[in-house]
A and B are shown apart, each in its own frame.
Chain A
Amino acid sequence: MSKKHNSNSGSRISRREAVKRGLVCTAGLWLTDRLGFAAPTVEPAKAKAKSVIQIWMWGGPTHLDTFDPKPDAGSDYTGPLNKPIETNVSGIRVSELLPETAKQADKYSIIRSMTHGVNGHETASYEVQTGRKPGDGKVYPGVGAVVSLFKGYKAGYKGLIPPYIVLTQPQGRFSESGFLGSRYKPFATGGDPAQGKFAVEGVVAQGITDERQQARRKFLHELNSLEHATKDDPQMVALNQADKQAYDLILGDAGKVFDLAQEKDEIRDRYGRTTFGQSCLVARRLVERGVPYITINYQGWDMHKQIFQNLGRKMREMDKGMASLLQDLSDHGLLDSTIVWWGGEFGRTPKVQWEPPWSGGRNHYGKVFCHVVAGGGFKGGQVVGSSDDKGEEVKDRPVYPVDLIGSIYQQLGIDTEARLPHAEVVHVLASAEDGAKTAGRLKEIM
C-alpha cells in the first residue's frame, strides 16, 4: 500500500536503516512499534503498582497552604492560615483547610523538598512530568505517555478504554506524548462527571438512543461506497478496526465505566458532587478496570490574586475528593497497587504579595515545593525532606523531578535504563550523564 506509515511524529527511520546503524538489538532492548518489534515489557516480579492516578494541580498549588505549613513564619507568610492541624500520624501537620485529608495521612507520604528552580508554567510542567530540561532538540514524553508505552496496548493491555486517560481536559502546556507521537497522547474525556450524565466525548452522545445508534451504524455501513470499493486497502482496514473499537465503547459494555449512576448516591456524595470529586470517583472505577494511567487535570491553582479568599472553596473540594479517593481505594483493596500522585509544576511564593493588584496573592515558585505520593508500594505516614522555616529553600534532602519520576517507574516495574523508541539512544529516565540533577530515588518511602 502506498500510504506512508507516518504513524508517529519525531524522527523516523526504516527498519533497514536501523539494522544498518546497529540499532537492532537481538535482546529486544530497542522496543518500538515503529519498527514492528515486540512490545516493551515490564518486569512483573518487580512491579508493585499497576496503575497511577495523577492529580495534576494545574497552575502550581501553594505549598505553605497545603502540605507544608509554616505557622511560625509570621503573617506575611501564612496570611490568615496559621493554625495547621494534626493528622492521624503523630508529628505530621497539614493545612487547617485539609481536615479530611489529614485523617488519611497514614496512607501517603509528603515530599516537602521538591525543587527544580523554574518559575515558568510551560517549562516547569515539562520538567516535573518528563524529568528533562528542554533544549536538546527532542521533546520527551511525560510519565503518562511512557507508562502507556510500557503498560498499554503494545504490552498486552487489552481494555477498550485507552490506557492513558485525562479527566476531563488535556493539560495544554506541553505535548504529553512528545516524540512518542499522537498515539501515546491521553484520551481526554471532556464532559463533566458532576453533571447528570457524564458525557464522555465520543462515548456518550446526549439525546441519541441506543436504537438510533444501531440504525445509524447500519445506515453508514450501507452508504460507505468508497470503503466497499477499496476493501482490502490498509487504510480501510485501519478505519474498520477503529470503527469496531469505537462502537464497542458506544454500544458495548466497555463504556459503562463512565456511568456514575452505577455508584450508590452515598458514595457519590462522599466524594463531593464537584467536577474534581466525581473525577476522583471515575478514576477509581478506571483503576478497577485496569487502566494504567489516569490524570485528573485539576485546574485553577494559579492563584496570583486574593489567594486566601480563593482557597476556602477550592480546598474544601480538593480535601473531600482526595480523602475519599484514598479511603475508597483502600476499601476496595486497590491502594496497594495504585499510586496516587498529587502535585503541580511548582509551589507559590512563601511571602504573600499584599500589594495591589495581587491583594494577597502568591507568585510562581520553583525553588521548593511539595508533592504527595500514596499507594502502589510507597509507604504512608512519612515526610521526605524539608524546606526551611519560611518555606523558601530546600533545607534537607532535595528531591528533583527525576528522583520522583524514577521512583514511580520503579514501583511500576518499568526499567528506567530501557530505551525509548527514538533514532538516538534515549533512555526512559534522564541520568546524571544527561545532565539531570538527581539526589537519588525515594528509598526512604519505598
Chain B
Amino acid sequence: MKTFFAAATVLWAALGGIPVPGAAANLFESDAPPKPKGRIDELVFAKLQKMGAEPANVCSDGVFIRRAYLDVIGTLPTGKEAYEFIKDQTPNKRQALIDRLLERDEFVDYWTMKWSELLRVKAEFPINLWPNAAQAYHRWIHDCLRQNMPYDRFVREMLTANGSNFRVGQVNFYRAVQNKDPQTLAQTAALTFMGARAETWSKERLAGMSAFFSQIGYKQTAEWKEEIVFFDPDKTASVTSNAVQQAAAVFPDGNKAQLTPGRDPREIFADWLITPQNPWFTRNIANRVWSWLVGRGIIQEPDDIRPDNPPVNPELLAYLEKELVANHYNLKHLYKLILNSTTYQLSSIPKTKSPEADANFARYPLRRLEAEVLIDALNQITGTTEQYSSAIPEPFTFIPEDQRSITLPDGSISSAFLEMFGRSGRDTGLESESYTRITADQRLHLLNSSHIQRKIETSPKLAAIMGTNPAGGGNYGSYGKFGKNGKRGGGGGGNASNAANVTEKKPGEVVGSLYLVILSRLPTPEEFKTVTEYFQITSAKREGGRDLAWALINSAEFLYRH
C-alpha cells in the first residue's frame, strides 16, 4: 500500500517536473490531431470533413481509463488501476484494457441493468411482475449476457417463451407490460426490438402486427402469484376486437404472414424479425450499442426509428450492421470495434463547436453519470454503503447494504438517491426513462447533503489516505479495495483505522492519492499549488483533506462521463 502511494507521488513529481503550458487542456487530450484507425473512423471523419468540421484530439490515458471503465463496466477504476494504466508503457494498452473489461463480472452486471431498463424488470406498478418473477427475469438476462448469447437468439427466446414466470425468466417479457392486450404487446416488441414507436404507425399496420400476439394465454397456478404464459390456439375465436383480426396477420413491412393453425404465431413473427434482411432488427441493435457507448445514436433518439428520422451517417450504420451480421450477432464484437476506434477515443474538448459537429461524433459528449453508477462510485471511493428499500414487503426484496446499485435486480428496489438522480422508472422501456440532466436539487444534494457529507466524514478509505481517523468512530472493517486487488496490499489494509497508523503524511502523497482515487489521474502542478494553498488556510488538517475530497467529488470531471 505504502509503496503504491509513494510510487504515485514519485510519478506525480515526475509529471510535475514537465513544464506544460495550458496544462488544463493537455490534461484531457493529446496534442496531435486524430488518425483514423479503421472503417468507423474513415466514415466518421469523411462526413466531418464534408461538413467542414474538425474532430477533437484523442483523449489522454487518464481520461481513457476512466471513460472505458464507466462505459464498459459502469464502475470507477480504483486508484491503483488508474495509476498502473497511466504508468504502463505498452503501445496497445488501450486495446488490452478493453479486452480485460469485457471479461469482467461488472460488465455482465452493468449491461444486465441496461437491459433490465429496456425490458422493464420491475416488481410492482405500473409494471406488475411481482418480486420473484422480476428476480427470475433479471437472472435470465444476466445468464444470457454472461454466456454472451448471440443477440438474435436472445430476442427469439423472449419472443417465443412459454412457461412459468418464476421458472422461465424470459416469459416475463409478456408480463412486463401495463396491459396484456395484443396491441400493447406488439407495441412493446416494436419498441424493444425494432426501435420503433408503433403507436405512431397507421392503425392497419399496428393491427397487422398485433395479430401475432393475439394467441397468448395467461393462467394462474396453485402457487401464489405464479403465472404461466403459453401459446393458446383456442384464443383465435375469442379475439373480437375490431382492430385485431386473426386473418390479418401482416408483418410491419407490409408482407402478409402465412399462419398455420396449431403453430404459435409468435414464432412466425420472430423468424421474420431476426433475419439480417429485416429492415429494423439489426439496425436497431447496432444503433443502440453505438449510442450506449458513444453517447448518441446515429439515429437519434435510438429508439425512434422511422423514415423521417434518418441516420446522420447511413454508411456508418450500414457498416456496423454488416459487422454484426458477419459475426453472428455477437454484441461483444461490436463493442470491441467501437471502443477501439479513434472516434470513440476522441476527447470531449471540441475543435468545432456546433451541434451538427457533435451530432456527427466530432467529440465524445459530456454526460452526467447515471444514478446507479454515480452512487456506486461514491461508495467505492469512500468505502461506504447504501440503504435500499422496496415498497413491496416480500423477502425477495431485501437487499444487503453493500450490494452495488448496478446489480439491483428489480426496479421496485430503490433508494432516495437513485430516485433523485433519475434512475429509470422501468415503466415504458423507453431509453429516455433514465434521466441524466443535472437539476438544482441534485446539485444541492451533492454539495451539501448530510448523506454525502457523512460518506466523506466517516469514510475509512479517505481517512487512511489522509492519515486521519474517520469521524464517528465505529468499526468500518478493513480498508478496502487496494488491499484486495493489489499484490502489495496484504498487510497494510487492516491497520487503516488504527490510531497507530495515523502518521503525518506528506501533502504530495495525500493529494496525489485523492486525485487518483477520485478522478483517476494525478494533479497538475497548478492544481497541486491551489490545493496546498487551501490546506494552509484551513485550520484543521482533517478539514483540508475532506474539503479536497468534497471538491473533487463535486467537480464536473467526477460527475460527467468525459
Contacts and interface: CB of A to CB of B under 8 A. Distances in A.
A123 B391 CA distance: 12
Interface centre among B199, B359, B366 (most CB of A within 10 A): B366
Contacts of A173: 391
A262 interface: no
A313 interface: no
A174 B433 contact: no
Contacts of A17: 200, 308-309
A181 B435 contact: yes
B534 A219 contact: yes
Given A11-B197, A202-B441, A227 B419 contact: no
Interface string B434-445: 111111111111
Interface in A227-272: 227-230, 232-233, 235-236, 238-239, 241-243, 245-247, 249-250
B440 A203 contact: no
Contacts of B124: 122
B428 A232 contact: no
A230 B59 CA distance: 14
A50 B336 CA distance: 57
B344 interface: no
A22 B445 CA distance: 41
A51 B25 CA distance: 49
A182 B551 contact: no
A10 B450 contact: no
B538 interface: yes
Nearest to B184: A137
A10 B197 CA distance: 12
A12 interface: yes
B432 interface: yes
A136 interface: yes
Interface stretch (A69-77, A81-89, A184-192, A323-331): A184-192
Interface string B372-405: 0000000000000000010100000000000000
A279 to B, nearest CB: 18
Nearest to B302: A4
A185 to B, nearest CB: 7
Contact of A203 (B27, B348, B444, B556): B444
B448 A1 contact: no
A199 B419 contact: no
A4 B556 contact: no
A126 to B, nearest CB: 7
B71 interface: no
B104 interface: no
Interface residues of B, number: 86
Interface centre among A7, A206, A242 (most CB of B within 10 A): A242
A224 interface: yes
A13 to B, nearest CB: 8
Nearest to A235: B366
B555 A226 contact: yes
A201 B419 contact: no
B554 A139 contact: no
A215 interface: yes
Given A2-B355, A202-B449, A245 B443 contact: yes
Nearest to A137: B178
Contact of A9 (B296, B435, B442): B435
A225 B366 contact: no
A6 interface: yes
Nearest to B22: A229
A56 B187 CA distance: 36
A229 B178 CA distance: 45
B531 interface: yes
Contacts of B350: 230, 233
A345 to B, nearest CB: 13
A195 to B, nearest CB: 12
B349 interface: yes
Contacts of A230: 348-350, 366, 556, 562
Given A136-B179, A181-B435, A235-B367, A246 B300 contact: no
Interface in B1-44: 24-25, 27-28
Interface of B: 24-25, 27-28, 124-126, 178-179, 184, 197, 199-200, 295-297, 300-301, 304, 308-309, 348-350, 353, 355, 358-359, 361, 363, 365-368, 389, 391, 416, 419-420, 422, 424-425, 427-428, 430-445, 447-451, 453, 524, 527, 530-531, 534, 537-538, 543, 547-548, 550-552, 554-557, 559-560, 562
Interface of A: 1-14, 16-17, 20-21, 121-123, 126, 134-139, 162, 169-170, 172-175, 181-183, 185, 187-188, 190-191, 199, 201-206, 208, 212-213, 215-216, 219-220, 222-230, 232-233, 235-236, 238-239, 241-243, 245-247, 249-250, 423-424
30 contacts: A2-B355, A2-B358, A3-B365, A5-B437, A9-B427, A9-B430, A9-B433, A9-B435, A14-B309, A139-B126, A170-B416, A175-B425, A182-B419, A182-B420, A191-B450, A202-B447, A205-B448, A205-B450, A212-B547, A215-B534, A219-B530, A219-B548, A220-B551, A220-B555, A223-B530, A225-B527, A226-B560, A229-B27, A242-B442, A243-B447
